Structure 1
């Protein structure tokens, strides 16, 4: 990975930059970029070579965002992310699931918002959802509908395509946390290697390219953390993944997606 200009994407010379291990670590690049750490190594940038510890800012982020304060909490949170349990529990993912259920049973590739809301109402009644949960899923379906339109307008989602899942959020977080856990002193190499294998397997089973992963990640950022329809979580995520998709120093332009040659 060479370039004639400085890049904010930090790649350690001591970490993998090719092969399956590197492709999985690259999933966490959007979060590594936000924390100004190496995407491919737990070493701390700017410190003496081989230094593996977390900055004050990263420690605060791990505590505030994910409530990671111990080895047990790190293991628990990372495992949930690897399995996608975090995103599956969110009403926004349920909204996408309802749409996919309808489209899979029909010959159509598109569902307008009125039909989506009707399908949600039917699904809610059939599954015994209470009114509050039904209302939340409907509101998030509307938000997802507009978020996808914005992704298309920003050339992050090809016209006529949709975001099937926001699992990219959990996979990116899990990949980042394997390295952050080492900086915090919570991770051992054997556990990290097992996690990396599982992350790669799950990523390859759902996504086929960095572009589809990027759209899923950007969608999740606004659906989980933002307002409506475009906000700082959305614009920040789009800026990060756009850079990763285009920068010649980026692992996303140099390494195949997990499971791809």
Structure 2
């Protein structure tokens, strides 16, 4: 079975002998090759690509599509490679040919790849260009599709779909080694295993996001249980929240600072209902889903950056999924919580990119027949 649709299309084109079609699929796919980790980490100006001998004894660049990347290796890392290979990488090099997905049904050998660059460039003109936010659901058919690990990975679905990476993979990279390392460094301040563990623990414990939204949501949950219907009244919710904060020793100014949050949540929920995130009479019970969903992707970034081992990453992903199950009842409940946590943190009621980049994945994951949310029960039977 081909791991993904990309490898299936490559194998079909190969079986027909349609090499232009094969190259078009390859040019439209994410492609990777390996470099020595120490050279990449040292930001060496010229980094040696890992090579293999082709069938004719020529030194070849080895290119993999995402679904055929080998398992994690300690000494080399998978880096994105842009095809056709730039001329500066060929010049003065012993590289002559190219191996694609060696040893797999979709694999092939281009002995004259160095001399066919101009033709590949002409073929690339007919390949659609995907934008940065070209959300898409990618499934690895040979990866986990059922069970606790698949469920945990599906909890990371919003970001996986938005980033255009395979949702159900504990693999060698998330985006690519260099990009994943930079994501952890630039967005999270993570540069080693210890700092990665600290941030991941905060996500799993729901401490990365501000505490106030979760507090006021729990007050409303209590109202809904004790006084059905009262939770819909903003003034009742505000009085109950003020009382709960006062009991915790929060003074007047502190209480006043929390009150606008209730109106903001209710306005977001109104928009959620209009956009189909929430049913007409539903409300968000918790925003912890935002931390849990990011924890899944954060664990995968850590694996790519070599801060974690594959088995460890699997267990962390399963843990994030189990935590989500304790808080939510359905995928829809979980998704609404994830999106609320995201927009409260970053959107400021702009309903801009931070909202749209969660709304579109929500629609894909809830509506696509092949979505894990349509095929994996949120709670076990």
In our comparison, the structure showing a higher alpha carbon Rg is: 2
Higher strand share: 2
The answer to whether structure 1 residue 260 and structure 2 residue 354 are counterparts is no
Report the alpha carbon displacement of residue 233 of structure 1 after superposing the two structures with TM: 1.3
Higher RCO, Cα 8 Å, sep 6+: 1
The answer to whether structure 1 residue 248 and structure 2 residue 369 are counterparts is yes
* Secondary structure of the structure 1 residue equivalent to 2:156: helix
Report the alpha carbon displacement of residue 55 of structure 1 after superposing the two structures with TM: 4.4
Superposition CA RMSD, Å: 2.6
Bigger Cα displacement from structure 2, 150-159 vs 92-101? 92-101
CA distance in 2, matches of 1:199, 1:96: 21
Q: In 1, are the aligned partners of 2:170 and 2:314 still within 8 Å (CA)?
A: no
Report the alpha carbon displacement of residue 173 of structure 1 after superposing the two structures with TM: 0.8
Match of 1:61 among 162, 177, 183: 183
Deviations 1:200-233 (A, max 9, x none): 3212212221111111111111111111263321
Deviations 1:66-122 (A, max 9, x none): 3222111211212222222334x4222222122223333323363311222222222
Match of 2:161 among 22, 33, 43: 33
The answer to whether structure 1 residue 223 and structure 2 residue 344 are counterparts is yes
Partner of 2:150: 22
The answer to whether structure 1 residue 176 and structure 2 residue 304 are counterparts is no
Q: In 2, are the aligned partners of 1:157 and 1:215 still within 8 Å (CA)?
A: yes
* Secondary structure of the structure 2 residue equivalent to 1:110: helix
Deviations 1:166-222 (A, max 9, x none): 111111111112221111101113322332332232122122211111111111111
Q: In 1, are the aligned partners of 2:138 and 2:167 still within 8 Å (CA)?
A: yes
CA distance in 2, matches of 1:53, 1:157: 31
Report the alpha carbon displacement of residue 252 of structure 1 after superposing the two structures with TM: 1.8
Partner of 1:80: 202
The answer to whether structure 1 residue 144 and structure 2 residue 144 are counterparts is no
Q: 1:63 to 1:2 in 2, by over 3 A?
A: closer
Gap regions ≥5 residues in structure 2: 6-27, 29-134
Q: In 1, are the aligned partners of 2:214 and 2:287 still within 8 Å (CA)?
A: yes
| TM-score, length of structure 2 as denominator length | 0.60
Deviations 1:42-80 (A, max 9, x none): 436xxxxxx677344433332333322211121121222
Report the alpha carbon displacement of residue 152 of structure 1 after superposing the two structures with TM: 0.8
CA distance in 1, matches of 2:175, 2:349: 37
Partner of 2:254: 133
Partner of 1:187: 308
Match of 1:205 among 295, 302, 326: 326
* Secondary structure of the structure 1 residue equivalent to 2:232: coil
Gap regions ≥5 residues in structure 1: 45-50
Q: In 1, are the aligned partners of 2:4 and 2:138 still within 8 Å (CA)?
A: no
Bigger Cα displacement from structure 2, 25-34 vs 98-107? 98-107
User: What count of residue pairs does the alignment treat as equivalent?
Assistant: 251
Q: In 1, are the aligned partners of 2:156 and 2:293 still within 8 Å (CA)?
A: yes
